[in-house]
Structure 1
């Protein structure tokens, strides 16, 4: 899921002329050195075992011969098996929308290969409009204009619609400006930056590898992409895993309020686990002087209310650029807490310490934990446009235009489900005034769909943004015959915590199509705890957790691209 934002908490002022005078920092691989081709032509890139290519695809699949083209950036970690056991490409999507598959496979490709086996090329691709694929979505003339409108770190932040009395109408007005800006500067391709055309790109990629059927693992929004492929090409599936599932009927109808069903339950697990861990392990336990989990919950709400009325300065360093100082306001605090719900095993200990320090008047720990980064003039890359790509995809997929009364009604429905509705309703706000929608695009299922091969659907019992009922609905109603694998844990997607059980079922599915029996439930590995007596680094940058063994392979579970 994307983290859509209207603003960030720290104001950034820059001289536009100074930015324009500097050259953009180059990535470690120059993608323009690869000439796009209709056939896969691989070039060594980044490091050992990795190769890159740019595949030409039709911009408009409704008229492919008369269409302009898009170039899909792809990175693969090559299979290490013999040619006799090679099984082709396994496409990966890390979510978003707007997440870079290229970047994700560079980071997690070896871990994924350790789970599924050496017979596959692990292939990350940047969806059309995203990151290193071209044309790339950009609403702004240059990076200076982008930073002035949408300051750095906006990609990691939702604006709280409860921060002030005008926050919600202000968000609505800003989104109208963004929608008009996107339309005015559209070079004629934004209507083609949609999930259904990205699904067709996946078929084109699969065929370019010399195979007829898709092999795929998609998490979070990647589940929408995978299910869309299954709906469009039900006879073209070989192995498809969707993990952290948002049902496509809810996605295409813009009815995603139910994604908030379990959000507060994950937060409640923070209070309970903090109390059970005790004051020597959970720092916020001390602050609450807790005799029960309710005491910790009360201290938490008191802190939220305090910051809403009185923001706190955070000064880590005045010599480290913008990363060293800022303001802890209600938006930043709520986002930091919300992000921790995605990865509680990694982030709850750090969150507890940050909250304890903040309650004592020190905002530095929370500011560092929030993931706010230094803005370097002229240092933007294709990845910095992920906000624009995400909104373009979301709003082009979803059907209704948004009015201010619509937004208020959505907010009210979600507020009845979760105290994080003030963040999540930005989904709907982002599409205010958006009118760039391709006629004939896929708009969702009309009934149950049968695929030639069953999918493996994975859902956590307590996922803060893709609750288990979405996985159940997808496996048993939308795509009957799919296998449903339940992970009895909290956090977003099965990558939240190491589980040999999850890994073994995924391996068996990719190896020979084996599905778990109905009612199969996996647990985290023994010793995995929210608050470990042995301590944890708990930093926001930490994205690898303890290694687990899968059929003799040592691997690590990795968090999704977007927390």
Structure 2
């Protein structure tokens, strides 16, 4: 049974036991907030509402009276409530048992209602629910059809039909919005709306504490009325937006895998790929270092040899005739397309822990053992075994609604203009076709609230061109902590440095590793920095840069411990046996969070029509070959 169905929404946090099979301490609530914060409340007139799904892992000792840490796993489109369900126990081991952890589903996502679903069939009668299951079938059929086009440069017609497909979906969403007479979630799903929702959650928490706890027994809470937050990937844009809109409400903000806000609000955001190919280079380098442990390695190989072998594999898959085989258990034909394998590679760049599995997969192709790839291709009929609407609310249009609403102005480029954007992106990365295929989804989106306006934050205000003058840094009630890997495939280090310079006294840590967000690797140094920041308010020094030379400055660095082919080794950590035991426990907790973050849909290839199963296929393959 879905526990959310039994919870009556309320304008106060009313906690109910939920998911006790995961942890009996978990509690859930549905917090009611206005659909439109700008709409005045008139008691005699009902106003549209949003009911936010909130999951809580309480503190072991509530009298410690700590503000909860809110989480966002990224996307946009990731379910924060489910993320907290999976990682909150591990986070309490990392931080402190008395640190409450809250996950929430932002507007349009997961179990927050209404869901951003353009495909759900309209209700047949007044008071009847939408048919989300039928809409899901239509969505899957559409995406399966569009998958045949591959990426924007897969053929001479791919760009034209992929762009037309996204415009068609946006027309579908516009039709759904018009049915709801401008009161749908699509027009009120921007990041600025979600930032206001976080204020509502913080205030509701303080009211709940005051109502349910004996004030005489509570410890002093220095972060009362302030936000404690850890955001990953897109979650860093949400955190930065919150800090710019409500700087006096910042308690502790960790922004991990940092989005360059100035580029995010542009049509294509191509600068995100400046380090993507460097992460692929790290795969080749680490494979050579691992030697025979890496399945793709051959005796005497150099990093260049590995790169050449990789491109030869892709060339083979792109050649005529295409590579095909019959699925050995489901008995249907499979075409091994280069676009699908490249999508898998792009996904793996997010998480180097999957480098060994990628090496095995590529080696099977190199050796022409194609049937070993069968687990990547699931029988579509397995969807029929899914109970009820298990995918409804998970497969949504939330990413489209949020990201496209965040643009400073509607995206309405011609096909030739988008081709030009692709050419510029291709000069940055070999994965430009994947990225631009993702960016197409905003072309033609024009659903906004009547008072739609982008918050007046530094990344939406034209820079001051007056010589010698710069925009003033945003002063927050407490400094922000920015985190970045040296090489991140979609949120490069330069973005973290640049964003840190927009906020007064903000600290920055570069983790010398690769992957998306610092949790892609394990670092004892980073783990301690996060713990000391949250619990004791210790902020690393701000980055020192010279003008716009963001990568030529100085800031704190932490080295990763272990790698894809060698696990974290506690032997290098100083301390007695008890300290080392605590270290192992903390690092195991970080690994748990990393593995969970890997499983949460974030902004990446999973958003492409027909490629929603890429991450699932990779996990299946990695699990099946874990012992190899």
TM normalised by structure 1 equals 0.85
5 Å-filtered alignment, 1:390-401, equals 390-398=399-407, 399-401=409-411
Q: Cα distance, 1:81 vs. partner?
A: 2.5
1:470 is the counterpart of 2:495: yes
Q: Partners of 1:458 and 1:372 in 2: how far apart? A: 40
Which residue in the other structure is 1:531 paired with? 565
Q: Cα distance, 1:64 vs. partner?
A: 4.7
Q: Cα distance, 1:365 vs. partner?
A: 4.2
Which residue in the other structure is 1:108 paired with? 87
1:430 match: secondary structure:
helix
Change beyond 3 A, Cα 1:370–1:299: farther
1:124 is the counterpart of 2:135: no
Q: Partners of 1:314 and 1:493 in 2: how far apart? A: 37
1:226 match: secondary structure:
helix
Which residue in the other structure is 1:185 paired with? 176
Q: Partners of 1:306 and 1:274 in 2: how far apart? A: 21
Q: Cα distance, 1:442 vs. partner?
A: 2.1
Q: Cα distance, 1:372 vs. partner?
A: 9.1
**Is the contact made by 1:244 and 1:494 (CA closer than 8 Å) also made in structure 2?**
yes
1:500 is the counterpart of 2:527: no
Change beyond 3 A, Cα 1:300–1:39: same
Q: Cα distance, 1:94 vs. partner?
A: 0.3
CA-atom RMSD, angstroms?
2.6
Of the two, which has the highest radius of gyration? 2
Q: Cα distance, 1:435 vs. partner?
A: 0.8
Q: Partners of 1:488 and 1:57 in 2: how far apart? A: 41
User: CA offsets per residue over residues 399-432 of structure 1, 9 Å max, x none?
Assistant: 2323212311221111111111110112321112
5 Å-filtered alignment, 1:348-387, equals 348-366=355-373, 368=375, 374-376=382-384, 379=387, 380-381=389-390, 385-387=394-396
Pick one of 153, 164, 169 that aligns with 2:155: 164
Q: Cα distance, 1:393 vs. partner?
A: 0.9
**Is the contact made by 1:454 and 1:482 (CA closer than 8 Å) also made in structure 2?**
yes
1:71 is the counterpart of 2:71: no
2:231 match: secondary structure:
strand
Q: Cα distance, 1:363 vs. partner?
A: 3.2
**Is the contact made by 2:27 and 2:57 (CA closer than 8 Å) also made in structure 1?**
yes
Which residue in the other structure is 1:413 paired with? 424
Q: Cα distance, 1:532 vs. partner?
A: 3.4
Q: Partners of 1:548 and 1:298 in 2: how far apart? A: 44
| Unmatched 5+ stretches in structure 1 | 1-27, 535-546
Q: Partners of 1:183 and 1:225 in 2: how far apart? A: 25
Pick one of 461, 474, 478 that aligns with 1:449: 474
Which residue in the other structure is 1:541 paired with? none
Q: Cα distance, 1:102 vs. partner?
A: 1.1
User: CA offsets per residue over residues 273-296 of structure 1, 9 Å max, x none?
Assistant: 222222x2111124xx76322121
Q: Cα distance, 1:153 vs. partner?
A: 8.7
1:285 match: secondary structure:
coil
Pick one of 337, 347, 354 that aligns with 1:329: 337
Which residue in the other structure is 2:6 paired with? 33
**Is the contact made by 1:271 and 1:297 (CA closer than 8 Å) also made in structure 2?**
yes
Q: Cα distance, 1:325 vs. partner?
A: 7.2
**Is the contact made by 1:332 and 1:370 (CA closer than 8 Å) also made in structure 2?**
no
Q: Partners of 1:248 and 1:533 in 2: how far apart? A: 34
| Unmatched 5+ stretches in structure 2 | 122-131, 207-223, 462-470, 543-554, 569-580, 603-628
**Is the contact made by 2:116 and 2:396 (CA closer than 8 Å) also made in structure 1?**
no
5 Å-filtered alignment, 1:18-417, equals 28-47=1-20, 48-66=24-42, 67-83=47-63, 85-140=64-119, 141=121, 142-151=132-141, 159-186=150-177, 187=180, 188-189=183-184, 190-210=186-206, 211-254=224-267, 256-278=269-291, 280-286=292-298, 291-309=301-319, 310-313=321-324, 317-319=328-330, 326-344=334-352, 346-366=353-373, 368=375, 374-376=382-384, 379=387, 380-381=389-390, 385-398=394-407, 399-403=409-413, 404-417=415-428
Change beyond 3 A, Cα 1:452–1:275: same
Q: Cα distance, 1:236 vs. partner?
A: 0.6
**Is the contact made by 2:412 and 2:443 (CA closer than 8 Å) also made in structure 1?**
yes
Which residue in the other structure is 2:550 paired with? none
**Is the contact made by 2:67 and 2:100 (CA closer than 8 Å) also made in structure 1?**
yes
Q: Partners of 1:44 and 1:283 in 2: how far apart? A: 47
Q: Partners of 1:555 and 1:377 in 2: how far apart? A: 34
